[in-house]
Structure 1
Amino acid sequence: MQAEEEGLVVKDDAQSTEAAESKKLDNEVELLLGEDPGAKKKDQVELHESLVSRWASWLSDGLPKEIKVQVVDKYPRKGNISLEAPELNEEIADTLNETGVRRDQLFNQEQNLAGSALSALGQGITMILKDEEEPLDHLELLEKLADAGKLITQLHFQVSSARRAFISPILTKSMKNLLQTSKPGSLLFGEKLTEKIKTAKSMEKIGKEIKASPLPSTSGTSKKLSRPAPRRTLNWRGPYARQGNSYQGLKQYQTKFPPSQPVSKSTYSNVSKSTSKPRPLRDAKK
């Protein structure tokens, strides 16, 4: 009985050896054939489900403000190494316009986020390196690594937001309003952007067709056209001239006539004498 069992063991070992050799042969053949493009690549990241669900949310929406402030304040950026963002030289700051200053401030905030993440990560690595001197606290190590992940996902989100902000000025107003509702993912402005644009355009077209166009008002126009224009005499003066204002208005267009003078009878007689024809000399001959 024991001999039979030993025979079975030897037989199983031989079969496993043959299977291993055939598998090795298959691998050699696959190398000769070349890399299989349909095979799953081994360089794809595989993270824990609890980590994936959290990081995916923070990458698209960012950290809640209170959590972000709490984690940043937990890890100092100064010590035997400075992890602070470098300050801008005053000589250079004076030459920048308002847009340049705001952009530098944005980069400064992002660098400080990276510095806090490096501080958390560095403390965790230091705990591992000092494991022989001090017993390693796995929960404390996990906390530091998790905080580093939070800060890096927030930094990732802020860079995506900055890229979107730099692109938005070249877009139309309707496109800006549409893209503000989208969230970054594998694509900067979200997936299925073409379908969203088509849907927005169709909805805008339907809204214009439903909305009734206002009728033009003709009552006010007809009243204005039927009203006669005011007559102005030659001696008419503008309102400023009548009120004695320093601005004389239309005074330069006024025409002044000399006051009328009474005409004497002698004037009429002189005119009639000068203009009358001389009488013939028939009476003188008679």
Structure 2
Amino acid sequence: MSKNLVRKPIEIKISTVVAVSAILRELDMNVLKSALQDMTGGAPDYFDNEFTIIDFADVDLAGQSIDWPALIALFKAYSLNVIAVRNAPSSMESDILAHGLGIDSVPPSRPVPQPEEPQAPASRPAPAAPAQPALQSAAASTRSTMIIDTPVRAGQRIYAQGCDLVVTAAVNNGAEIIADGSIHVYAPLRGRALAGASGNDGARIFAMSMEAELLSIAGIYRTFENGLPDNIAQRPAQVRLTGDRLDLLSMSAAVRS
């Protein structure tokens, strides 16, 4: 066999991993357990073994100690697999790593470019050079829409990084489509659709026939093991985020999820 045809025993590639964020506002295990019980209604399949990042941004950790095995086990009991921690103090990092978890760093948010105020006419034209960097920055943040013309099959994952995603064929059960912008599916949308993946809460999901297993915008998501509402299922619909709630809208009505 040619040396060039020998398969590598391991190959490392960059991959987009979708994880849910568990934003803690309490540290008491009994309180957290009760909250998860209320959230899931005791349904064992409410979460589907999702990768989970624990976020401590909304809790005061000063002088606190975390029982990591107990916390990880609690989430595991509700089919949430903790893989990383976000917004923890540096003093906890060694303990976090010792329990096999990663440190998730949140990138700084980018300000939305604003149009410049019109300037009063000057006696001579101002040099154009100072304005160029802002124009280049705005242009650099705008990317073409990704268009997929073939069916997205079970096990496939498509990620439209920095742009909208348009799919003109069916998205099948077990497939996953992700976009930093909005998602448009001009065919049945089954599987999982995650719009606004980089935090864009103005993103939306549109489908000619809504049949999704999971819908998410900017990290807020909902699963539909028991089916979509009757006036949404298998009909043209869109999904938008209102506060921390997903709204599903048909041609004539809005349904609060």
Is TM more than 0.5 here? no
Q: TM-score range by the shorter chain?
A: under 0.3
Q: Which has the higher contact order (CA 8 A, sep 6+)?
A: 1
Between structures 1 and 2, the one with greater strand share:
2
> Which of the two has greater helix per residue?
1
